[in-house]
């Protein structure tokens, strides 16, 4: 997804498919305990548990975490969830917590805000390829939407929120959260249909952080039914998660910038870009590698690009455009 620039609206035609489904991102911890009486659970103000005082207590602001990303992704099927990434080492990012909390509170439950300390949540930080704070993203139907990096005035934040709500409405996300006493994420949701046994086995394995078992389950599903498109997409997604597990994003990005011919670094940065929702950037990087490489390196880059096509989905227009660009550099 293209990151909107300050002053530019979030495009209402934004296609939300194509970034890794965050409900599968490292949800290996137990479901978070109830906020009632639980130390460190979601509080009643922006930056709850973050060490930053909030001027506007709000029932629609929670403390996000690596363990809670699954719950936040589910909530984003009801209302857009703003992810405000911050650090105690950045005074600017701490100041933004209060302002974001105020602006979300003013929306009366049409948005939720999760404040995420990047120093305590390395998995989310890696997944979004965060380079600096404050950094602001949103989730709609579990898919990440980059908003902006750096501090913004209230008027600009409101403009982003207006456009984000339009995008959400266009994609069927039109709910409103309850008021005081209701914690975001505790609202009842419709029961999801049961998954086929091998798919459920894969999902359970992902929740446990056992990517090898998840991959094996999806492969068995494909062996039984080669036309199982959901299994093919699931396999591509979990392979991406496995490749990114434990990656030092900053080091890999620095290596890729310093050594354009370092194939492993280029492939890994493309994975990071896709995992953070920067689909076009990932595709463009790999097409560039294919165009300037030969032999085994060229084939490896082409194969990785095809894998990422599977993650995004064959019907996504960005895949069609990238396939055409790939054909031009190949032939």
Please indicate, yes or no, if residue 5 is contained in any of the structural domains: no
Task: Return the CATH number at 253.
Answer: 1.25.40
Please indicate, yes or no, if residue 56 is contained in any of the structural domains: yes
Does residue 160 sit in the same domain as residue 38?
A: yes
Average pLDDT, the chain: 77
pLDDT in tens, 140-159: 988 888 888 899 999 999 98
Does residue 130 sit in the same domain as residue 240?
A: no
Please indicate, yes or no, if residue 1 is contained in any of the structural domains: no
Domain count, the chain: 2
Which pairs with CB-CB distance under 8 Å and at least 24 residues apart come from 278-281? Answer: 278/1, 278/3, 278/129, 278/146, 279/1, 279/18, 279/19, 279/312, 279/316, 279/318, 280/1, 280/2, 280/318
Does residue 36 sit in the same domain as residue 95?
A: yes
Residue-level pLDDT at 293: 92
Does residue 40 sit in the same domain as residue 166?
A: yes
Q: Residue 155: exposed, middle, or buried by beta-carbon count in 10 A (0-12, 13-18, 19+)?
A: exposed
Please indicate, yes or no, if residue 186 is contained in any of the structural domains: no
Structure tokens at 33: 């305990």
Please indicate, yes or no, if residue 10 is contained in any of the structural domains: no
Is residue 48 pLDDT above 60, yes or no?
no
Residue-level pLDDT at 179: 58
Please indicate, yes or no, if residue 148 is contained in any of the structural domains: yes
Structural domain that includes position 118: 22-170
pLDDT in tens, 171-192: 888 888 875 434 444 444 444 4
Does residue 141 sit in the same domain as residue 233?
A: no
Its pTM stands at: 0.49
Please indicate, yes or no, if residue 26 is contained in any of the structural domains: yes
């Amino acid at each position: 997804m293209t990151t909107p620039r300050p002053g530019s609206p979030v495009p209402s035609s934004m296609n939300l498919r194509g970034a890794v489904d965050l409900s599968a991102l490292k949800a290996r911890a137990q479901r978070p305990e109830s906020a009632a009486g639980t130390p460190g659970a979601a509080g009643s103000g922006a930056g709850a548990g973050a060490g930053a005082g909030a001027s506007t207590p709000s029932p629609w602001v929670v403390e996000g975490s690596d363990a809670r990303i699954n719950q936040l992704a589910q909530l984003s099927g009801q209302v857009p969830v703003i992810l405000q990434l911050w650090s105690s080492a950045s005074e600017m990012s701490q100041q933004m917590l209060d302002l974001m909390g105020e602006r979300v509170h003013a929306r009366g439950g049409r948005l939720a805000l999760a404040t995420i300390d990047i120093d305590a949540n390395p998995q989310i930080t890696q997944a979004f390829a965060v380079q600096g704070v404050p950094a602001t993203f949103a989730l709609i139907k579990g898919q990440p939407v980059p908003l902006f990096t750096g501090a913004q005035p209230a008027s600009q934040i409101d403009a982003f929120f207006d456009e984000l709500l339009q995008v959400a409405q266009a994609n069927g996300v039109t709910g409103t959260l309850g008021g005081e006493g209701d914690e975001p994420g505790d609202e009842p949701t419709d029961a999801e249909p049961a998954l086929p046994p091998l798919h459920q086995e894969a999902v359970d394995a992902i929740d446990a952080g056992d990517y090898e078992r998840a991959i094996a389950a999806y492969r068995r599903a494909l062996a039984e039914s080669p036309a199982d498109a959901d299994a093919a997409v699931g396999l591509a997604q979990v392979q991406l998660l496995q490749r990114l597990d434990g990656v030092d994003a900053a080091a890999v990005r620095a290596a890729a910038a310093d050594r354009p011919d370092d194939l492993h670094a280029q492939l890994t940065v493309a994975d990071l870009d896709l995992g953070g929702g920067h689909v076009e950037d990932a595709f463009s990087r790999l097409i560039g590698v294919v165009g300037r490489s030969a032999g085994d390196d060229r084939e490896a880059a082409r194969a990785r690009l095809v894998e990422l096509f599977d993650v995004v989905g064959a019907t996504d227009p960005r895949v069609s455009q990238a396939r055409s660009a790939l054909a031009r550099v190949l032939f």
